């Protein structure tokens, strides 16, 4: 059975701290790994990673994938209260020679940033 596991499940930090969120996976037909941010509504897309060792960066957020060890990390530097959210990791699959939006999600990491 396909599995995506995130750690830690929850994290409480203060503004200005740096956090690292982890995602490991065991799936068939891996195609891509995606990170989403979910506040109290729709998950919003952060990153998609397909190649090992290439860091994706967007402002204070960055992410990298290791396809040999089957994990990814999401880093957030200089955290702000607005970063408080659930961070979801998901794996996209190949299926029958094509691929589509069937994603296997982890259970999420709840990040709380205190002022």
Partner 1 sequence: NAGVMQNPRHLVRRRGQEARLRCSPMKGHSHVYWYRQLPEEGLKFMVYLQKENIIDESGMPKERFSAEFPKEGPSILRIQQVVRGDSAAYFCASSSVAITNTGELFFGEGSRLTVL
Report the C-alpha gap between 37 and 46 in whole angstroms.
7
67 near 33, Cβ under 8 Å? no
Identify which range of 13-21, 65-73, 76-84, 104-112 contacts partner 1 by CB under 8 A: 104-112
Query: Which residues 64-93 are close enough to bind partner 1 by CB under 8 A?
Result: 88, 90, 92-93
- Kind of pairing, strands 10-14 and 109-114? parallel
Q: Which of 44, 52, 80, 81 binds partner 1 (CB under 8 A)?
A: 44
Identify which range of 19-27, 60-68, 69-77, 105-113 contacts partner 1 by CB under 8 A: 105-113
- Kind of pairing, strands 56-58 and 61-66? antiparallel
Q: Which of 19, 23, 34, 76 binds partner 1 (CB under 8 A)?
A: 34
């Amino acid at each position: 059975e396909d599995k995506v596991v995130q750690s830690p499940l929850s994290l409480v930090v203060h503004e200005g701290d740096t956090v690292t969120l982890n995602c490991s996976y065991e799936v068939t037909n891996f195609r891509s790994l995606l990170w989403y941010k979910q506040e109290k509504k729709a998950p919003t897309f952060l990153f998609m990673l397909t190649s090992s060792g290439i860091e994706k960066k967007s402002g204070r957020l960055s992410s990298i994938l290791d396809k040999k060890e089957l994990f990814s990390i999401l880093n957030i530097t200089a955290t702000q209260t607005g970063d408080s959210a659930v961070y979801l990791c998901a794996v996209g699959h190949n299926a029958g020679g094509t691929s589509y939006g069937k994603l296997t999600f982890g259970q999420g990491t709840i990040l709380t940033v205190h002022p």
